[in-house]
Amino acid sequence: MLTLMNFKGKKALVTGGGRRIGKAISLALAHAGADVAIQYFTSEKDAEETANAIRGMGRRSETTQMDLSDTPSVEKWFDTLAKRWEGFDILINGASEYSEDNYENLTAEDLNRSMAVHVLSPLRMMRTMKGFGRESCIVNILDTRVIDRDPIHASYHLGKRGLLTLTKDMAAQLAPKIRVNAVAPGLILPPEGKKEDWIERLKSTNLLESRGTPNEVADAVLYLAGASFITGQVIFVDGGRHLKGSHYGN
C-alpha cells in the first residue's frame, strides 16, 4: 500500500466504498490521512465495518445509503451530503453492478439501470463537485475490458464504456481546477458467487500470468488522487491484459 501520499485534512467520498475493491480504496485513503464518506446501496453491514475501521485510525467517516440507479434523486442526495461535509476534495466513483446479460436478451431496463449507475449518477456528482469551486480530483473505476469485448455482461460493459468516455470528456470540461482520471482493474477478485478457482484459471489471460489485489488498485487510485499534473488518464491495473489487443482499435 502506498504511504507516500498525504491527504491529511482532505475529505473523500467513495461510492461502493464498503466492500471488495471499494473497501481497499476507502481504507487506503484513510491511511493516507483523509476523512472518508462511504456510499452503499444494500451492503450496510460491510459499509459500517469499514467506517468503524476508519474511525479507529482517528479519521472521520460516515456511511450513506443511496441507490445510484435513482438518478433524479442522486443530485439532491450528493448536495446534502456535500454540505454536511463542507465539500469534498476527492470523489471515487467505484459503485458498480455486474449483471450477466448479452445482446440477445439485453433489455431497456437493464441498460438504463447500468447507465444510471455507471454514467448518469457519476456525471451528476461531477457537476456538483464543480460547484465547490476548489481544486479537487475525481477517480473513476473502470474495467480493463473497456477496450475489448465483454459479450456476456452487455449492460455492464456499455456502462463502463460510457464511464471511460465521461472520464476523458469531463477531464477537459472541468479543468483546470478539477482533475478527472480512471483506474481499470483486471483480474483482482472473483465475481460475486464465484470461487477462487474461477479467477485462478484465468491467470494466463494477462502478460504477467498472475492476479492483482484490491490494495494494488487502491495504490493506483491514491497515486492519481495525489498526482497534481495528471488528468484524463487511465491506469490499467491488469497485469498487461490490455496490451493483448483492442477490439475497438484504441
- Going by pLDDT thresholds of 50, 70 and 90, the confidence category of residue 250 is low
pTM of the model: 0.95
pLDDT recorded at residue 248: 75
The catalytic residues are 156
Contact 217, 183 (CB under 8 A): yes
Contact 14, 26 (CB under 8 A): yes
pLDDT recorded at residue 4: 60
Contact 5, 32 (CB under 8 A): yes
Q: At what angle do helices 108-115 and 154-174 cross, to 10 degrees?
A: 30
Taking the mean position of all CA atoms in its chain, how far away is CA 161? 13
Mean pLDDT, range 118-145, rounded to an integer: 96
Task: Collapse the DSSP code of 123 into the 3-class scheme (helix H, G, I; strand E, B; otherwise coil) and give the result.
Answer: helix
Nine cell digits for residue 159: 456502462
Burial of 148 by CB count in 10 Å (0-12 exposed, 13-18 middle, 19+ buried)?
middle
User: Tell me: the pLDDT tens digits for 7-49?
Assistant: 999 999 999 999 999 999 999 999 999 999 999 999 999 999 9
Mean pLDDT, range 211-218, rounded to an integer: 96
Mean pLDDT, range 200-208, rounded to an integer: 91
